[in-house]
Amino acid sequence: MVDWYLVAVVILFVLGIGDLIVGVSNDAVNFLNSAVGSRASSRRTILIMASIGVFVGATFSSGLMEVARKGIFNPEMFFLSDIIVIFLAVMLTDIVLLDRFNSLSLPTSTTVSIVFELLGAAVVVSLFKVVQGGGGIASVAAYINGSQALTIIGGIFISVFIAFVVGAFVQFVSRQLFSFEYEKRMRRVGAVWAGFAMTAMSYFLLIKGFKGASFVSTGFLEWVSGNTALLLVGSLVVWTIVAQVLIVRGVNILRPLVLFGTFGLAMAFAGNDLVNFIGVPIAGFESFLSWSGSGADPTAFPMTSLADKVPTRTELLLIAGLVMVVTLWRSRKARSVTDTEVNLSRQDEGIERFRPNALSRGIVRVATGIVRSVAAVTPRSWRRRTEANFVQKPDYSAPADKPAFDLIRATVNLTVASMLIAFATSLKLPLSTTYVSFMVAMGTSMSDRAWGLDSAVFRVAGVLNVIAGWLLTALFAASIAGIFAAILMTFGLPSMVVLLAVVGIAIFRGVKLHRRLESEKEAEAKPIFVRSAEADAAFEDIIGRISGTLALATELHTKLTDGIIQQDVKLLRKARRRIAKADQEIENLRVGLHRIIEGTAPGDEAIGYHYLRYSDVTQDLLQSLSLLATSCEDHVLNSHKPLIQPQIERLEMLSDRVARVLGHIADSVSGKTNVDAVLREKNALLVELDRLFEEHGMWVQEKRVGRKNSALYLRILTESKDVVAISARYAKNLNRAFDPESVQAYPGKIEASV
């Protein structure tokens, strides 16, 4: 007979290893973003420092698993069978939820996820127990540690606002002290500033990093808590002296500051957030051990043992530390999540991942109005002095080597995050290290004017998307864990095999999603050739882009035609979403045009212009397709009468002709077909479209079609005509570019283009 409880414990540990992997991939952003974004050192050195911090923190994290035992529910109210169900539901949910956020490259809180998963699963199991016992719903409150849960939830979300405001304020003061050319002022104020930063991070390490460490006695921690003022003053004096000595010796103290802060945050993360990944499996294992020798029925064995504090086995901590370090080095998703936060806080403009929305636009308008009002009442001398400190230093020569932000901001990020986390910990207030680290980084970037008028709506939209993801984390965590718990309670532990299969499928789909998003990101970041020796390659790139766009236009026009003929709203929506995505890709190219033109070598000035013409034509083409898609989708959604049979026959013919002409235009662009022949074919199709317009007029006079039908059919004909005419401009533009009479002629290309 299968011992399903033993199987469940084994599965909990397997899921714990998987949760370590997805959890580190998500939480790595907390301690990597400042060092990576500022390029404080090579990525290898940064990872080495973070790895040491992670391994040390994991090894010292004994005794921190209480949240899984008694933080959310009252364990004495549950039996072993109930606890195993709760823990299985939590781990299955956590690995799916965190992996999906990692796949989307969005940071979320492992603390929030574990708290709400425990809450959702415990509430559902409590409901089952209450119903089976014939009690009322109100008695569920006896099973849940409600006050503790509310304290954790409230503290976490309040920290979001505080972290943003404090980060913005400290960054503003720091920029006033140093400006962007901080090297010139480092000798004057750098030592004191570095002393404050090191003091904050050192105190953070004592309070947060060593909390719960097996080698640190309770007496020492109490002494630290009771002598806080003495420690802070002493640390400030010592670190200020050390910083001044290093500055005098010509050392850039900001780099070791950032690396030390990275180590401290990594150690604290591993030491305190490890509970989010292995706390549940360890609690499940301890529950199983306490029952296994009792001989009692698992459905009647109370779990009072979970109320006791039990140190975690050292060997388990070592294994967890090794898994976390390996994940830190090997996980591509960890790098993706880090890149999301770094890109939202980078100093310069560039390709923006998030689209602006009504809320982000409104926030930017209100904030802009407030800034202008404050500026109007601020003395002019103060404004001039402030503005002088925000003058940008010269740009780096190679964009690939350019940090997202400077070392001053990186140090502020680490210092403020360390300070807030240490302060909250000293007051025994719960918070999310992810939320604090992220919102501090967003506050410093806003205060540093990284969110200029050209990028603010995109950055604010990104922050709103991340925060919305945090709220969804809580909702999904509680809901999915509750559903999984209900399935396990209804069908028994054997049903966990089916749930494991569901989790496996979800992870597999997450891997595919991440690969697709990464390939799209790489395509957007594809280098554009602008140097003189690479001029031909630049035109090859333009030709490739045109060919791809024409193939896409052909596919979309066919889908839209088929969708309206078949009244298939799903097909129409799919086409509309693909058009929107292509439009965003063109916007990203336009953002990069400034850099293209700046990097163009003398004599190749027209290259940037050709990219501009390509983007203009493509935008016009997508606009026609978008109008067509919207008209077709609205017609179907409004349940208007479908097209009549003669119209369907004409559209089927039109779809084939458009596809053929666009294909021939693509051939002419790549040099396979004569341009003049293609233009003649295009003109013939336009003549045919004019005939269809006249024919439709006769149908209207004969009252064969209604007004809605007529409006849709005319829209299809009009936009199809525009699609063909606009596409032909690709061939005309390239033909002019390779004209032997043109000053931009490129030998070797002419024969293939005429």
pLDDT tens per residue across span 549-573: 889 999 999 999 999 999 999 999 9
Let me know the angle formed at the C-alpha of 361 by 357 and 365, rounded to the nearest 5 degrees: 175
Residue 599: predicted pLDDT: 53
pLDDT score of 529 more than 60: no
DSSP annotation string for 243-264: HHHHHHTT--THHHHHHHHHHH
Quick one: average pLDDT of 720-741?
74
Which tokens in the block code for residue 637?
Answer: 């959604």
Query: 73 pairs with which residues across the strands?
Result: 144
Residue 678 CB partners (closer than 8 Å, separation 6+): 661, 664, 665, 667, 668, 728, 731
Quick one: average pLDDT of 510-519?
78
Give the residue, 711 or 433, on which the prediction is more confident: 711
pLDDT score of 747 more than 50: no
Give the span between the Cα atoms of 555 and 629, in whole angstroms: 13
Give the span between the Cα atoms of 666 and 555, in whole angstroms: 13
- The distance of Cα 77 from the centroid of its chain, to the nearest Å, equals 40
Percent of the chain having pLDDT more than 70?
A: 82
Give the span between the Cα atoms of 407 and 729, in whole angstroms: 48
Residue 651 CB partners (closer than 8 Å, separation 6+): 561, 564, 565, 643, 716
> Phi and psi (nearest 5°) for 350?
175, -160
Residue-range domains of the chain with CATH:
4-346+356-391+409-518 (no CATH), 531-753 (1.20.58.220)
Q: Note the pTM of the prediction, 2 decimals.
A: 0.70
Which tokens in the block code for residue 393?
Answer: 């230093």
Task: Report which of 290, 406, 439, 451 is spatially closest to residue 38, judged by C-alpha positions.
Answer: 406
Query: 144 pairs with which residues across the strands?
Result: 73
Residue 99: predicted pLDDT: 87
Place of tokens 């494991």: 500
- Evaluate whether 274 touches 320 at the Cβ level (below 8 Å): yes
pLDDT score of 464 more than 60: yes
Residue 522: predicted pLDDT: 62
- Evaluate whether 347 touches 405 at the Cβ level (below 8 Å): yes
Which tokens in the block code for residue 585?
Answer: 């890709």
Give the span between the Cα atoms of 25 and 281, in whole angstroms: 19
Residue 213: predicted pLDDT: 57
Taking the CA of residue 62 as centre, how many other CA atoms within 13 Å lie in the half-sphere pointing to its CB? 16
Which tokens in the block code for residue 175?
Answer: 């920029």
Quick one: average pLDDT of 562-586?
89
Quick one: average pLDDT of 125-152?
76
Which tokens in the block code for residue 406?
Answer: 């400077």
429 DSSP assignment: -
DSSP count for the chain of H helices, then E strands: 26, 0
Task: For the chain, give the mean pLDDT.
Answer: 79
Quick one: average pLDDT of 330-342?
75
- Evaluate whether 500 touches 11 at the Cβ level (below 8 Å): yes
The residue length of the chain stands at 754
Give the span between the Cα atoms of 636 and 329, in whole angstroms: 51
The top-scoring range by mean pLDDT among 196-205, 297-306, 650-659 is 650-659
Quick one: average pLDDT of 295-313?
73
Residue 505: predicted pLDDT: 92
* Strand intervals (E) in 476-599: none
Q: Is the dihedral of CA 13, 14, 19, 24 positive or negative?
A: positive
DSSP annotation string for 215-235: TS-HHHHHHHHHTHHHHHHHH
- The distance of Cα 251 from the centroid of its chain, to the nearest Å, equals 36
Residue 699 CB partners (closer than 8 Å, separation 6+): 646, 705, 710
Judged by DSSP in three states, 79 sits in strand
Residue 745: predicted pLDDT: 37
Which tokens in the block code for residue 194?
Answer: 């570095």
Residue 80: predicted pLDDT: 85
Segment among 3-17, 21-35, 64-78 with least mean pLDDT: 64-78
> Exposed, middle or buried by CB within 10 Å (0-12, 13-18, 19+), for 643?
buried
Taking the CA of residue 392 as centre, how many other CA atoms within 13 Å lie in the half-sphere pointing to its CB? 10
Residue 751: predicted pLDDT: 33
Residue 134 backbone zone (phi > 0: left; psi -120 to 50: alpha; other: beta) = left
Rg (CA), the chain: 31
> Each residue of 365-407: pLDDT tens digit?
887 888 788 878 888 888 788 777 777 654 544 444 577 788 8
Task: Report which of 162, 237, 235, 245 is spatially closest to residue 205, judged by C-alpha positions.
Answer: 235
Which tokens in the block code for residue 171?
Answer: 């960054």
Amino acid at 80: L
Quick one: average pLDDT of 4-15?
87
| Biggest alpha carbon–alpha carbon distance for the chain | 97
Quick one: average pLDDT of 150-170?
82
pLDDT score of 79 more than 50: yes
Which tokens in the block code for residue 14?
Answer: 């397997």
Quick one: average pLDDT of 310-316?
67
Query: 302 pairs with which residues across the strands?
Result: 79
Residue 349: predicted pLDDT: 63
Which tokens in the block code for residue 297?
Answer: 């029925």
The top-scoring range by mean pLDDT among 347-356, 398-407, 482-491, 722-731 is 482-491
Task: Report which of 78, 567, 476 is spatially closest to residue 299, judged by C-alpha positions.
Answer: 78
pLDDT score of 486 more than 90: yes
601 DSSP assignment: P
pLDDT score of 42 more than 60: yes
Give the residue, 270 or 739, on which the prediction is more confident: 270
Give the residue, 423 or 531, on which the prediction is more confident: 423
Task: Report which of 248, 251, 253 is spatially closest to residue 195, judged by C-alpha positions.
Answer: 253
pLDDT grade, residue 303 (50/70/90)? confident
Segment among 35-44, 374-383, 425-434, 459-468 with least mean pLDDT: 425-434
pLDDT score of 6 more than 90: no
Give the span between the Cα atoms of 178 and 408, in whole angstroms: 8
Quick one: average pLDDT of 86-90?
91
Give the span between the Cα atoms of 103 and 119, in whole angstroms: 25
DSSP annotation string for 81-126: HHHHHHHHHHHHHHHHHHHHHHHTT----HHHHHHHHHHHHHHHHH
Residue 426: predicted pLDDT: 64
Percent of the chain having pLDDT more than 90?
A: 11
> Exposed, middle or buried by CB within 10 Å (0-12, 13-18, 19+), for 504?
exposed
Segment among 261-275, 559-573, 673-687 with least mean pLDDT: 261-275
Quick one: average pLDDT of 327-349?
75
Residue 482: predicted pLDDT: 92
Residue 430: predicted pLDDT: 61
